[in-house]
Structure 1
Amino acid sequence: MGQLSFFSAQIDQPAYDDLAGLLATNGQAVRSDAGTRVSVVVADKWRATAIVEEIAATGLAVEIVTSDEGNPIARTGHSHQLDGLHRRWSAGAVKAMPAGWVPSPRALRLWTIAGGEREGERYLLGLDAHALDTHAMLATALMRVGVAPTLVGTRGQSPALRIAGKRRLTHLLEYVGEPPALPGAAEHWPTIAGF
């Protein structure tokens, strides 16, 4: 792919706020007296493993468990370090994107790991089907980093932001870096190989 941008997730320092990338897709932040836990159900084991590696770089406790349906769940331990993230991404009991949010490179990488999928020469970043009010705002957030998406699938169970075109895909790749070094990851990662 060539030289990575200085914005790349691979050189950006890990931060607790990067976990917002999981909340941009179907991740959840739940607050209790013990602190906030962030969790995300994913489709593949490699995704859960990669998320655990990314979160562990922040110093947070993290584990993989299995949902009742048999899907992997990557989740943090309860931590008061994540309480601010929960407050910013909540409106009462509902998930809400904070106004003006700009995804950091690592947040965008986590979003790509948890909910990204190739669609021919285009790329989809999954959204939370239960947080409809966040969809348009998340599209705007991506525009703030120079990746203009199209909102698709809003009437179904698989809403997503579609990224098309070599320039936009190249910019996305500059942010998220190389795919995790795990079997299966590369085939689901953004690519410009078809251009």
Structure 2
Amino acid sequence: MPLRGSGDTSGAELLPALFPVPDPATPAPARRAPAGPDDQTRPDPIATDSTAPAVPGDPAGRARRVAAEEAGKQLVFFGAETAEPTLADLAGLLAGPAEVVRMGGTARVSVVVDAAWRVHVLVAELAQRGVAASWEPTEDERHAVRTAYARTLKPLAAAWLRGEAKRPPTNFHLNGRRLRLWLAAAGTPEPSGFLLRLGPADEECRDPVGRALVAVGLAGDLVTAEAGGPGYLITGRRRLRRLAELVGDRPAAAPENAWPTRLP
């Protein structure tokens, strides 16, 4: 019998056991975006605190900058940690290999993933958005993750489907929350960078998705199926740092080498 669940890993029907089940404790609360449209990060509470102690021989305030780094990472405008999760974030899955189908006045999103940890992360992310999910093993030893059919997903299907074909809407864009879902479903570390995989038959999506990556500072090289894709390979220290900032901290279920690291 296929394994199924609704996002609660503490129930009798467990997630795939190929990776340790993460602690289902209450997730950290989402943090709001900076108030001003020109702000790229939140103000540094230590660097702006005139009472913070100075260190002799450090007129530039190096000690305060170090203390700020130790106190916590700054948030990036449009990053995954700057706003509440919403159903619109599922567009990030559709930018990758996910599919959306309609049934009557409802719709469902599904994606096949190659590792059990991805199931854990996606089910938790979907639950944060009020979406029930189920999963089952596939014949090729992967995992199919599916949302329930829901009326709330109908607008997503209407925006992305042209008949039965998937195509990004004209106003499609990426942000940290959408990239986080895409990476959780189909992001793969490579020796030269990070590969964000696309659907094998989604040729009409490739150019719009590529432009959306460029718009958030993640211009990537399109990798063909023959070369290990299809997908966009993000390379370069600056772009990889940007990717890590946008997608946020590594989920508890993800292996360390499977998630981009925030570089200094």
TM-score for both structures, normalised by structure 2:
0.68
Corresponding residue of 1:92: 163
- Runs of 4 or more above 4 Å deviation: 154-157
Conserved in 2, the CA contact under 8 Å of 1:49 and 1:64? no
Q: How many residues align?
A: 193
Secondary structure of the structure 1 residue equivalent to 2:92: helix
The Cα shift of 1:156 comes to: 5.9
**1:1-195 counterparts in 2 under 5 A?**
2-33=73-104, 35-155=106-226, 158-184=229-255, 186-191=256-261
TM-score scaled by length of structure 1: 0.91
Q: Secondary structure at the match of 1:70?
A: coil
Shift of 1:34: 5.8
| % identical equivalent positions | 36
CA 1:71–1:80: 2 relative to 1, 3 Å: same
Residue type matched to 2:261 in 1? T
* 1:178 alignment partner AA: D
Name the SS for the 1:86 alignment partner: helix
Structure number with higher strand proportion: 1
Structure 1 position 160, deviation (Å): 0.8
Secondary structure (helix, strand or coil) at the match of 2:222 reads strand
Cα-to-partner distance string for 1:118-154 (whole Å, 9 max, x where unaligned):
1114111001111111111111011111211111125
Q: Which has the larger radius of gyration?
A: 2
Secondary structure in structure 1 of the residue aligned to 2:122: helix
Separation of aligned partners in 1, 2:218 and 2:88:
20
Structure-2 separation of matches of 1:69 and 1:150: 28
**1:159 partner amino acid:** P
Partners of 1:190 and 1:59 lie apart in 2 by: 26
1:8 Cα deviation after fit: 2.1
What amino acid sits opposite 1:174 in the alignment? E
1:183 offset after TM fit, Å? 5.0
Counterpart of 2:144 in structure 1: which amino acid?
I
Is the CA contact 2:121–2:254 (under 8 Å) kept in the aligned structure 1?
Answer: no
The Cα RMSD (Å) is 1.9
Gaps of 5+ in 2: 1-68
Q: Provide structure 1 residue ranges, at least 5 long, that are not aligned to the other structure.
A: none
Bigger mean CA offset, 76-85 vs 142-151: 142-151
